[in-house]
Amino acid sequence: MSGYAESLMQDVKAKNPAEPEFHQAVEEVAESLERVLERHPEYRSAKILERIIEPERVILFRVPWVDDRGEVQINKGFRIEMNSAIGPYKGGLRFHPSVNLGILKFLAFEQVFKNSLTTLPMGGGKGGSDFDPKGKSDREVMRFCQAFMQELFRHIGPNTDVPAGDIGVGGREIGYMFGQYKKLANEFTGVLTGKDLNWGGSRIRPEATGYGAVYFAAEMLSTRGESLEGRTCLVSGSGNVAQYTCEKILELGGKPVTLSDSSGYIYDEAGIDTEKLGYVMDLKNVRRGRIKEYAAQYKSAMYTETDASLDYNPLWNHKAHCAFPSATQNEINDKDAQNLLDNGVYVVSEGANMPTTPEGVRLFVENKILYGPGKAANAGGVAVSGLEMAQNSMRYAWTREEVDNRLQLIMKDIHTACVHATERFETPGNYVDGANIAGFLKVADAMIDQGVV
Ligand code: NDP
């Protein structure tokens, strides 16, 4: 790291203590931008990166609600409005017990660059709560979502801040939050994305992140004249992103062999085919069960319980060509990265946000594999959210084919933008630098145009 990046990081750590994920996300970007800031002193003198690191606004609030036993529960609510240089704040809401300020700041920071890459006019934001929907009844989830929106509604709006889903926030939660927003604001607008088709949602939005991550992998493979046909793929998670990643891998002729949840993972050497994926979708989205049940249903599969005492994740230790981490941050450490390389994996397309630790990223980059960082590879979700906003503004709905074609085109354009940035700044094949640089330039120029605000 240069002296500039080093002193920037010292400052970030001093001003934002106990936020390791945020430090990690900023450090990666600061390293990628060194050569940009050297060539463009105007960005340094305008303190663009220093400004991007500081959220425009952080909203923290209490979320009190009553559970089924009549007991009062209190959760924390957050919304980070990170950057609005190129459009209204846009980014998901995460409901998970691990949620804290540092995690949401890392996600909001990444979102700024990701949204810029989509070519759509969206700023960056993120929010959520330490509420855990797991094991809660539908009525409890509804009461929580209503209580959460009771405060959030005054801060958001279709031209201000448009939240969406993330871990623990799917169609059910978006529905309850939208209902409460509509009641409080007395208006029917596109204030949330990920809505159901019947009331303003976009076709392909549920599929978009997973499909996009696979399209991005296909784009990377095409630079070597290859495709996903016949490729064995490791997928982690079993939620929204993982499910549609598997669906698109199957469509493009690949073979997904793993899925997981926080309790463990399944390895199905025969492949997770369309029928088995249908079982997983019902298990996870309707019955809200655990992935362990897959192994009881299909004898070709082996289930391995999560073992917190291990310093690696055995899911990443199987022979394969491609990996699609689709669960959560830092799920691939250096040991996992080495296991992936040793097992023949040469394509990693990140459906999850920051799923690889910096040491793991270093190994992928040094070994020159096709490594698509989350900012670029999982931007399809927010891209189709942007398309949902456009359709809401027009009060019109595009067909499935139309949205899917636009998604494919956007993923292709993101790939091209990354490659061009690596060529312009002489860091060939490094999609991490490509995504960070291409995402940064557009936001930085907009900030310069708009003055010190
Ligand atoms: P879901 O809640 O639908 O699924 C998350 C999956 O990951 C579940 O299988 C969950 O298991 C597992 N998981 C979550 N946290 C952990 C953990 N700490 N350890 C092990 N497993 C874990 O979320 P999504 O599929 O929407 O999101 C997955 C990833 O993709 C996240 O990183 C998210 O930020 C990212 N992403 C999502 C987008 C979207 O459109 N939804 C857009 C872009 C990125 P369990 O049920 O046991 O918790």
Strand order in the sheet with 301-305: 258-261, 264-268, 301-305
318: nearest Cα among 373, 281, 265, 275: 265
**186 CA → ligand 1 middle, Å:** 32
Tokens 């981490």 belong to residue: 325
Q: Please, which residues have CB within 8 angstroms of residue 430's CB and are 6 or more apart in sequence? A: 365, 422
Ligand 1 atom with minimal separation from the 94 CA: 34
Q: Quote the ligand 1 centre to 170 CA distance (angstroms).
A: 10
Q: Given pLDDT bands bounded at 50, 70 and 90, which one contains residue 27?
A: very high
Residue 439, judged by CB atoms within 10 A of its CB (0-12, 13-18, 19+), counts as buried
Confidence of residue 3 (pLDDT cuts 50, 70, 90): confident
Question: Do the beta carbons of residue 201 and residue 195 sit within 8 Å?
Answer: yes
Q: Ligand 1, residues 328, 356, 375, 410: which to mutate, most atoms within 8 A of Cβ?
A: 328
- Which atom of ligand 1 is least distant from the CA of 170? 3
Closest protein CA for atom 35 of ligand 1? 352
- Residue type present at position 255: K
350 C-alpha to ligand 1 centroid (Å) = 12
Please identify, by atom number, the ligand 1 atom nearest to the C-alpha of residue 263. 47
Return the CATH fold of 55-188: Rossmann fold (3.40.50)
Using the mean position of ligand 1's atoms as its centre, give its distance from the Cα of residue 44 in Å: 36
How confident is residue 343, by pLDDT bands cut at 50, 70 and 90? very high
* Structural contact between residues 45 and 38, judged by C-beta atoms closer than 8 angstroms: no
Alpha-helical segments (H) within 302-399: 334-342, 358-366, 374-377, 380-394
Is 224 a residue whose pLDDT tops 90?
Answer: yes
Contact in structure between 73 and 64 (CB atoms under 8 Å): yes
Summarised one tens digit per residue, pLDDT across range 398-434 is: 999 999 999 999 999 999 999 999 999 999 999 999 9
Mean pLDDT of the chain: 98
Q: Measured from the CA of 260, which atom of ligand 1 is nearest?
A: 9
On the question of a common fold for 55-188 and 208-377, the answer reads yes
Distances in whole angstroms, Cα of residue 16 to Cα of each of 59, 82, 144, 244: 16, 15, 29, 36
Residue 355 near residue 386, CB atoms below 8 Å: no
Question: In testing the pocket of ligand 1, which one of 100, 110, 166 has its CB within 8 Å of the most ligand atoms?
Answer: 166
**Distance from residue 329's CA to the centre of ligand 1 (Å):** 9
Average pLDDT over residues 39-50: 97
If we measure between CA atoms, which residue out of 191, 203, 226, 249 comes closest to residue 393?
191
Banded model confidence at residue 30, pLDDT cuts 50, 70, 90: very high
Pocket of ligand 1 (CB under 6 A): 165-168, 170, 209, 237-242, 261-263, 326-328, 351-353, 378, 381
Residue owning the nearest CA to atom 21 of ligand 1: 262
Q: Which atom of ligand 1 is nearest to the CA of 385?
A: 40
> Which residue among 90, 105, 126, 195 is the active-site one?
126
Q: What is the CATH number of domain 208-377?
A: 3.40.50.720
Catalytic-residue membership of 276: no
Going from N- to C-terminal start, the domains of the chain cover 55-188, 208-377
> What does the pLDDT look like over 68-113, one tens digit per residue?
999 999 999 999 999 999 999 999 999 999 999 999 999 999 999 9
Instruction: Provide, rounded to the nearest whole percent, the portion of the chain with pLDDT above 90.
Output: 99
Helices 358-366 and 334-342 sit at what angle, rounded to 10 degrees? Answer: 30
Residue 2 clears pLDDT 90, i.e. is over it: no
Q: Distance from the CA of 393 to the center of ligand 1, in angstroms? A: 29
Q: What's the pLDDT at 4? A: 87
- CA–centroid distance, 285 to ligand 1, in Å, is 13
Contacts of 347 by beta carbon, 8 Å cutoff, 6+ apart: 217, 220, 221, 231, 321, 322, 323, 369, 370
Region 125-153: mean pLDDT is 98
- Give 254's pLDDT tier (boundaries 50, 70, 90): very high
Residue 374 has pLDDT above 80, yes or no: yes
Question: Which atom of ligand 1 is found nearest the CA of 168?
Answer: 2
Q: Mean pLDDT across the stretch 214-242?
A: 98
**The predicted structure's pLDDT at residue 306:** 98
Name which residue sits closest to atom 19 of ligand 1, judged by CA: 262
* Residue ID of nearest Cα to ligand 1 atom 30: 352
Angle, in degrees to the nearest 10, between helices 380-394 and 400-424: 130
Instruction: Give the pTM.
Output: 0.98
Predicted confidence band of residue 1 (pLDDT cuts 50, 70, 90): confident
Distance 352 CA to ligand 1 centre (A): 7
Closest residue by Cα to atom 31, ligand 1, is: 352
- Ligand 1 pocket: which of 113, 262, 280 to mutate (most atoms within 8 A of CB): 262
Give the mutation target among 114, 241, 272, 336 for probing the ligand 1 site: most ligand atoms within 8 A of CB. 241
Residue whose Cα lies nearest atom 48 of ligand 1: it is 262
